[in-house]
Each structure stands twice: as structure tokens, then as C-alpha cells.
Amino acid sequence: MATVKAVRGTRDLLPPETELWNRIEATARQVFARYHFGEIRTPIFEDTGLFARSVGEETDIVSKEMYTWDDPPKPKGAIAYPPSMILGGRGVQSLTLRPENTAGVVRAYIEHKLGESGQLQKLYYIGPQFRRERPQKGRYRQFWQIGAEVIGPPSAGSESPLRDAEVLEMLATLLDELGIMGWTLELNSVGSAADRERYNDVLRAALAEVAPKMCADCQRRAVTNPLRVLDCKVPEDQPIIDALPKITDSFDQESKDHFAAVTAALDAAGVAYKLNPRLVRGLDYYTRTTFEFTHGGLGAQNALLGGGRYDGLSEAIGGPKAPGIGFAMGLDRLVLTLQATKADQKSAVRPALDAYIAPLGETLNAAALVLARELRRAGLSIELGDGSFRLKKSFEAADKVARRIVILGEDELRSGILTVKDFSSGVQSKVPRAELASFLAQ
Ligand code: HAM
């Protein structure tokens, strides 16, 4: 029989590693609460058109990495849907597993008219995303993101550079509280849509001369999407790219002022950053501030998180004017980074349970379940053994997972006095059942 295996690029997360995942999520939720964010949960699949219109038709994500299917499927062998299926009122739809969550959050913002409250919406999410990328360390086809979006009508202050600075300051705090050391905040601005159009023209003109000396990808991008040239990693192309005109030189005064206010607020808050004029990011919806937090321990996939401002996204998908800024961090990459530090390998070890209950004989199994129920209800962590085990096997099993073993035999059941052995001190005690919970809690 062929062995069953998880699909390429996907994986199982098992205990005790999942404890670290939960700890990261719990810390993130605490930090979000302190900054007045509430949780949003959106579906893991959406209409394909949503991603085409938000992330952008020409991006790698939309053009080659999405898991997309027709719903309902076309009849076997058919190239097109028969008119009866389209016109019958049932509707056929192209659906896609979400490659990211910003599009879904903005779709929900529009659908539920969240802007009508006049308030800034501060929403966070934790969940899986799907991209058909070539799997490697830190890059998976199903991966997890912890992300957040701050979005609202301009009257709520959604365009303010203070929002950008607050999000970045929160991220610096979150990474510190998670115990992630040595991160770098790389910061840039891609300007307004008009700035970008101007820059695209400048770049296209500059590239017309140098592109023939560059890699095949760059030659193609120089024509289709010149901004993407700045993402090129081919070593020979780097000096050419560094000499290209900078995006900031195409900004109008408003964009310049906005970015200057973001950096001034970060300086005041003491959040260190590195300006990276080439940070244009791989999604089309960005305007103005863009950023990534990188970490040297991650190798080629060095981005712990990425994000930026998207002032035109809501309108691009049919909503009201609703500027916003957000980010998403790769949970898989946070875990990898923390596992690489010794302190966290230790804390990932399963903490010992309060007690292991060993019934002496199968006739005592039900009584042991009752005792376990009592103790667990009192808030203790308990593993329940089995009366079919020999005492030696129970002790070995208990020693692996718990701080103490509680022996439940006929005598103990009758007298109500239980035998407890503490593994670290080796001391054996007789404890009345009524006092057992408080004894084990020490
Ligand atoms: P992104 O840069 O595509 O941005 O992804 C954000 C983060 O998700 C990356 O920095 C990385 O840590 C993680 N990530 C992405 N792809 C993978 C993968 N294949 N395997 C493991 N981790 C991965 C976005 O998704 C935007 N929605 C962020 C955003 C929110 N911008 C504004 N609001």
C-alpha cells in the first residue's frame, strides 16, 4: 500500500511544538488587545476576482500561485459551462483559497458597512493562507499569518502618518515580547498612485537603456511592470539597479511630508529602522508607507513580516474611500526563529503535569476516572493511566509526563487515603482524598 503523506508544501504541527505556536498566538492577542484591536475571521476562500482586483493581476501571487477552482465544476469533458448552468439562476463562480487576508478584510469592511460607524476599524486575524510557491525552509504552500489592518473613512484619521507609526511601534513591541532579537525594520514609501505612475515612466525610460544588460526576468519586467525590477536578486544586476532613479525623487510634496511624519514619529518613539528605497513589495495595492521586518537567522526567506498602506484598495474593489494600513507576519517563520534560540528549545519541552493516576487493576478504572474528573475540575492537569498496566509500567509512564503519581487500589478507595509519590524528591505520602487537590496543587 502506498504510504499516506501530507501534500507537498503542507505539513502537520504536532505537540510539543504546537505549544510554542499557541504561546506566540496568545502573546499576539494580548498585545492586540492593549492596542485596541478586535479579531476578525473571514472565510478561507473568496471569489477569485477579489484577489485579481486587489493583489493585482500581474503579481506572482495572482498570476501563478493561487489555488483556484470553478464552483460548481464544469460537467466532465466540457470546455465551457452550458447556458443552462449559467442562466439557470444558480450562478457559476471561480473561487480561490486566500493567498493573503487583506483583500478579505477590506471586502468584509465594505460588505458590513463598517465605515458608516465613522470610527477607525482596528482588526486582527490569525489563520492559514495558501500559495503555490516552491517549498523550502520558511516557505510553505499552506502557511499561517498573524495580521492586522487599520482602516476607516479619512474623517476617522485613517490617512494619518501617526497610524503608520503606531502600527510599526506595536510590531517592535510584539517582536520584543515574543523574545525575537536582532530584527531589522526596513522602511520605504512607494508614494501615491500618481507618484507611482510618474515613477513608472521615469523607470521605464531609464531601463530602456540598461535592461539589455540585465537578467531575462528584468528585461520582461522593464516593459510589463518596471517596479518589479527593484525586487531582482540576481547579483550581476544589483549595481545597475542601485544606480536607477529612486522612487522618492518622484514624490509630490504631500507624499514627502507623509513619509517624513512617519519617520519623525518613529524617531520620537525610539523605534529603529533602515530606509530601503527598493522595498516595493510584491502586491499591487500598496501606496505610501511599505515595510518589512527581516531576521538574519531565516536564510533566503528572511522576511518575518511585511505590510504597508493601501489608501485606494477599498475603492478598487467597489467600496467607499477607506484608507488603511496593515501587516501580516509569517507564524511559521516566527516559530523557526524562536526555535533557533536555545532558551526557547527548553520552554518548548512539555511542562510536567500535576499528577498521573494509576489504577491498580481494571476494576478500578471507573473509580480512577471519577478521581481524575474531581482533580481536573479543581484545575489540576492530570493524566489517567490504565488498570491493565503493571505497576512498574505505570511508574515509567508517569515519570515521563507528570511530577507525581497517585496510586488508586482497593485499599485507597475504601479508606479514602491515597498514596502519592513525588518524582523529584522521591518522597511517598498518604493523603486524604478531600485534601488531595490542594496537596497536588503545591
Ligand atoms: P506578504 O509579504 O505577502 O504580505 O506576506 C507577509 C508575510 O507572510 C511574509 O513576510 C512571510 O513572513 C509570510 N509568508 C508569505 N508567504 C509565505 C510562505 N509561502 N510560507 C511561509 N510564510 C510566508 C501580505 O500577505 C499582506 N497581506 C500583508 C499586509 C497586510 N499588507 C497590508 N496589510
pLDDT in tens, 165-177: 999 999 999 999 9
Residue 89: what pLDDT? 57
What are 283-336's pLDDT values in tens digits? 999 999 999 999 998 888 899 999 999 999 999 999 999 999 999 999 999 999
156: confidence class by pLDDT, cuts 50, 70, 90: very high
Residue 233: what pLDDT? 86
Mean pLDDT of all residues in 79-98: 80
Identify the weakest region by mean pLDDT among 274-278, 351-355, 358-362, 435-439.
351-355
Q: Which of 66, 187, 190, 305 is the best mutation target for the ligand 1 pocket, counting ligand atoms within 8 Å of the beta carbon and taking the most?
A: 305
Mean pLDDT of all residues in 260-265: 98
Judge if the upstream peptide bond of residue 432 is cis by omega within 30 degrees of 0. Answer: no
Mean pLDDT of all residues in 353-361: 97
Residue 58: what pLDDT? 84
Mean pLDDT of all residues in 200-227: 92
Q: Which of 114, 113, 128, 119 is nearest to 41 (CA)?
A: 128
Using the predicted structure, report yes or no on whether residue 349 has a pLDDT greater than 60: no
Q: Calculate the average pLDDT of the chain.
A: 94
Residue 350: what pLDDT? 55
Output the residue whose Cα is nearest ligand 1's atom 18.
139
Output the residue whose Cα is nearest ligand 1's atom 16.
139
**Model confidence, pTM:** 0.91
What are 125-139's pLDDT values in tens digits? 999 999 999 999 999
Residue 76: what pLDDT? 87
β-pairing verdict for 45-47 and 93-97: antiparallel
Q: Which three cell numbers, joined as nine digits, stand for 182?
A: 536582532
Report whether residue 65 contacts ligand 1, using a CB cutoff of 6 Å. no
Report whether residue 143 contacts ligand 1, using a CB cutoff of 6 Å. yes
Report whether residue 303 contacts ligand 1, using a CB cutoff of 6 Å. yes
Q: Which of 135, 134, 127 is nearest to 64 (CA)?
A: 134
Identify the weakest region by mean pLDDT among 47-56, 67-76, 408-417.
67-76
Using the predicted structure, report yes or no on whether residue 160 has a pLDDT greater than 80: yes
Q: How far is the CA of 406 from the centre of ligand 1 (A)?
A: 48
380, 354 contact by CB (below 8 A): yes
Q: How far is the CA of 147 from the centre of ligand 1 (A)?
A: 9
Q: How far apart are CA 201 and CA 194, in angstroms?
A: 11
What are 237-248's pLDDT values in tens digits? 999 999 999 999
Residue 341: what pLDDT? 80
Output the residue whose Cα is nearest ligand 1's atom 33.
326
165, 270 contact by CB (below 8 A): no
**Cross-sheet strand order for the sheet of 68-71:** 45-47, 93-97, 68-71
Q: Which three cell numbers, joined as nine digits, stand for 331?
A: 507564524
Residue 28: what pLDDT? 98
Identify the weakest region by mean pLDDT among 59-63, 64-68, 71-75, 398-402.
71-75
Q: How far is the CA of 285 from the centre of ligand 1 (A)?
A: 14
Q: Which of 100, 228, 291 is the best mutation target for the ligand 1 pocket, counting ligand atoms within 8 Å of the beta carbon and taking the most?
A: 100
90: confidence class by pLDDT, cuts 50, 70, 90: low
Mean pLDDT of all residues in 391-416: 96
Report whether residue 380 contacts ligand 1, using a CB cutoff of 6 Å. no
Planar angle of CA 226, 211, 252, nearest 5 degrees:
35
Q: How far apart are CA 380 and CA 375, in angstroms?
A: 6
Residue 345: what pLDDT? 54
Report whether residue 304 contacts ligand 1, using a CB cutoff of 6 Å. yes
Mean pLDDT of all residues in 73-98: 81
Report whether residue 237 contacts ligand 1, using a CB cutoff of 6 Å. no
Q: How far is the CA of 265 from the centre of ligand 1 (A)?
A: 25
Using the predicted structure, report yes or no on whether residue 73 has a pLDDT greater than 80: yes
Higher pLDDT, 101 or 84: 101
Q: How far apart are CA 190 and CA 188, in angstroms?
A: 7
Q: Which of 40, 67, 333 is the best mutation target for the ligand 1 pocket, counting ligand atoms within 8 Å of the beta carbon and taking the most?
A: 333
80: confidence class by pLDDT, cuts 50, 70, 90: confident
